[in-house]
Chain A
Amino acid sequence: QSALTQPPSASGSPGQSVTISCTGTSSDIGVFNYVSWYQQHPGKAPQLIIYEVTKRPSGVPDRFSGSKSGNTASLTVSGLQAEDEADYFCSSYAGSNSFRVFGGGTKLTVL
């Protein structure tokens, strides 16, 4: 069982927006602004797409955005494209004892 809770699946049609949630606790997401999101295509290594809740690394399209409210973080993908079909994982810093925790992942399907 993963430390952070994500829905196992999400879907949307091309051009639509979809939001994926990531629920933690007051020991991780609720207290630290160090939520990150990763995109993973089949057979590939994960790729960082959001860090520190809302920031995008260079080269990541601005269709990807992140937010946080209380113990829940969210990833929104706007203007869905076929290449956005992938697994998405959230992660949070959880303090010096646990350091980092991950969610179980959400499979995004572009219909």
Chain B
Amino acid sequence: QVQLQESGPGLVKPSETLSLTCTVSGSSISSGYYWGWIRQPPGKGLEWIGSILHSGSTYYSPSLKSRVTISVDTSKNQFSLKLTSVTAADTAIYYCARDGYSSDHWGHGTLVTVSS
């Protein structure tokens, strides 16, 4: 069974960089799927952030592309998200997911609050 688990700081200061890691179990990250990040501001809808293939090919949301980097570590079966220059608008639950044309397995999500 595929399982994903997000990890990282729950509090980030404005203008700093948000960094999260997703650890995948039950599936090799090199298995040919995309692996992605999706976020949800409290009480609001879902926003797709970006995806990465094990080869390193990435796709990013046009609205976040200038601030987002997604990378993969196949040796640890992990992939990571970095979001720079954060503001309060980046406060959200961040989910990692097995991605592609749809997202069929999700992590539980981790709340990241941007505040000084």
Residues of A within 8 A of B (CB): 2, 34, 36, 38, 45-48, 51-52, 57, 89, 91, 93, 96-105
List 6 contacting pairs A-B, 8 Å CB cutoff, sorted by A: A36-B103, A45-B95, A52-B102, A57-B104, A99-B51, A100-B61
Chain B interface bracket (under 10, 10 to 19, 20 to 34, 35 or more): 20 to 34
Q: Does B47 contact A (CB under 8 A)?
A: yes
Q: Which residue of B lies closest to A93 (CB)?
A: B101
Residues of B within 8 A of A (CB): 36, 38, 44-48, 50-51, 59-62, 95, 99, 101-104, 106-109
Could you say which residues of chain A place their CB within 8 Å of the CB of B107? 45
User: Which of B44, B46, B47, B99 gathers the greatest number of chain A CB atoms within 10 Å?
Assistant: B46
- Output the least CB separation between A47 and chain B (Å): 7
For the complex of A and B, list the 6 residue pairs with the smallest distance between their C-beta atoms, beginning with the closest: A36-B102, A34-B101, A51-B102, A100-B48, A99-B59, A45-B106
- Output the least CB separation between B105 and chain A (Å): 8
